[in-house]
Structure 1
């Protein structure tokens, strides 16, 4: 208890310097945590993917569609337990700023492959019966204040015209990482309209989703699927759902590397600031440390004082920074809307924030502690602070 009181008194002996150091540490820990959360949110789609689902798309590019008649042949592939399909709709809700993913799907088979979408039975049935029906995730509904029964107008970009849909259900994710920020509609309704307006674009599928029972056979089943359509007019590329999601993340890999680098640089900068603070502190108290040694206190006691003071500052700043990260992350998530499927500060991120603060505290005190443990008592007593 005596040591703690002594440390607290020493820490706030120079209130302005300590306060400025704490502010810098808080900002650094907050920024580190927020940047780590952004990187984690970028990979949320990968983490939320299932090992029992494969995605089959055009081998050329996602912008090239696959024929609808591929579905029957895919069902016959050994190892495939179920199939569904989807098209990217790309509509605009009121203004271009209101971006969120929209997929036209085959409802019954699609929902069977995505059991993590928890939908009430009555809402599921209403969606299946209404060709103009849609369902959305809870976060998306909350963002725009939608309720079951609302009519949602979308202005088509890929498929021109104004499309009006009936909101028939709102799903909740089975886990925190489950995406609740997108919309599902009927592929058949979209296809019927396209057949009337643009017959050549009808009966086309953006991607097929394949259900498999044994994730260990994912590579083998993927090879079987792609071999089935080899040398056809529309060759396929089949991969696990996580690999499919990673293909999108890889497009921004350079940005993610830069964000990770910045988060580490921030910690290094505050480490240098903290080390300077502790060095100034040790220099000012040179005579005090020499007096302690003259009274018989061992060098280890001086070392413990400096490390204790540095760690106390680091823990206070790290704790405040950690506490502020949560509301900052919530505000950031609200600002970016549905850009990230899931945006939350994980336990790992919080642990890394505290670890970073402790490392800063230890490293900052290492040099001055070593110097003070080796001071000459006579020279120290002559020192004028």
Structure 2
């Protein structure tokens, strides 16, 4: 208790300097946490992917669709237990700024493959029965104030015209990693319209979702599926859902590397600031440390005082930084809307923030502690702070 009181008195002997150092630490730890959370949000789809789902798409590009008649042949592949399909709809709700993912799906088979979308039985049945029905995530419904039964008009881009869907169900995510900012409509309804207006685009799907029993056989099953359509007019590329999500993340890999680099640079900068603070502190107390050594205190005691003071300031800054990051991350998620479907400060990120603060405290005190442990008593007593 005495040592703690001594460290507190020493740490706040120069209140302005310590206060400014704490503010810098809090800002740096907050920035580090937010940048790390942005990177985590970019990988949210990858982390939420299932090892029991494969995605089969055109081997050329996602913009090329696959024939619907591929479904029966894929179902017959050994190891495939379930199959569904989806098309990107790409409609506009009021204005382009209201962007959110929209998929035309085969409802019964698709929802069976995604148990993480939790829907009340009555609402699920209502959605299945209404070909113009839609289901959206809880986050998306909250953003626009939608309730079950509300009409949702979308201006088509890929599928021209104005489409009006009736909200029949709102799903909740099974856990925090589940994206609750998506909208699903009936593929059959879209396809029926295409048969009347653009027959050449009808009976085609963007991707097939393949359910498998054994994740260890994912590569083998993927090869079997792709072999079925080799040398055809629409060859396929099958991969795990995680690999499919990573292909999107890789498009912005340079940005992610830059964000991670900036987060580390921030910590290095505050480390230099903290080291300067501790060096000034040690220089001002040179006579005090020499007196302690003259009274018989070992060099280790002086080193402990410096390290203790540095870690106390860094620890306090780290805790305050983590506390400030929580509301800031919530405000950032609100401001970005559906840009980051899952934006949550994780326990790992908070742990890294505290670890970064501890490292700053340890490194900042290293040089002045080493110097003070080797101070000559006579020279120290001659020093005037």
TM-score bin, normalised by smaller chain: over 0.9
Hey, what does 1:148 align to over in structure 2? 148
Q: Distance in 2 between matches of 1:192 and 1:87?
A: 14
**TM-superposed deviation, 1:199:** 1.3
Hey, what does 1:103 align to over in structure 2? 103
TM-score, scaled relative to structure 1? 0.99
**TM-superposed deviation, 1:308:** 0.5
Q: Residue 223 in 1 paired to residue 223 in 2? A: yes
Give the secondary structure class of the aligned counterpart of 1:338: coil
5 Å-filtered alignment, 1:18-167, equals: 18-167=18-167
Q: Distance in 2 between matches of 1:235 and 1:353?
A: 47
Q: Deviations for 1:111-165, whole angstroms, at most 9, x for unmatched residues?
A: 1111111100000000000000000011111111111000001111111111100
Hey, what does 1:310 align to over in structure 2? 310
Q: Residue 289 in 1 paired to residue 305 in 2? A: no
Q: Deviations for 1:247-288, whole angstroms, at most 9, x for unmatched residues?
A: 000000000011000000100000000000000000010011
**TM-superposed deviation, 1:195:** 1.5
Q: Distance in 1 between matches of 2:314 and 2:166?
A: 54
Give the length in aligned residue pairs: 385
Give the secondary structure class of the aligned counterpart of 1:339: coil
Q: Distance in 1 between matches of 2:381 and 2:267?
A: 36
Hey, what does 1:202 align to over in structure 2? 202
**TM-superposed deviation, 1:297:** 1.0
Hey, what does 2:351 align to over in structure 1? 351
Hey, what does 1:175 align to over in structure 2? 175
Q: Deviations for 1:274-314, whole angstroms, at most 9, x for unmatched residues?
A: 00000000001001111111111111111010000000000
Give the secondary structure class of the aligned counterpart of 1:177: coil
Q: Distance in 2 between matches of 1:105 and 1:154?
A: 16
Q: Distance in 1 between matches of 2:348 and 2:293?
A: 42
Specify every segment of 5 or more residues in structure 2 that has no aligned partner in the other structure, as ranges: none
TM-score, scaled relative to structure 2? 0.99
Q: Distance in 2 between matches of 1:98 and 1:137?
A: 15
Q: Distance in 2 between matches of 1:11 and 1:193?
A: 72
Q: Distance in 2 between matches of 1:123 and 1:211?
A: 24
Q: Distance in 1 between matches of 2:319 and 2:82?
A: 49
Q: Distance in 2 between matches of 1:104 and 1:95?
A: 20
Q: Distance in 2 between matches of 1:52 and 1:249?
A: 20
**TM-superposed deviation, 1:341:** 2.5
Specify every segment of 5 or more residues in structure 1 that has no aligned partner in the other structure, as ranges: none
Find runs of 4+ consecutive structure 1 residues off by over 4 angstroms. Answer: none
- Pairwise CA RMSD of aligned residues? 0.6
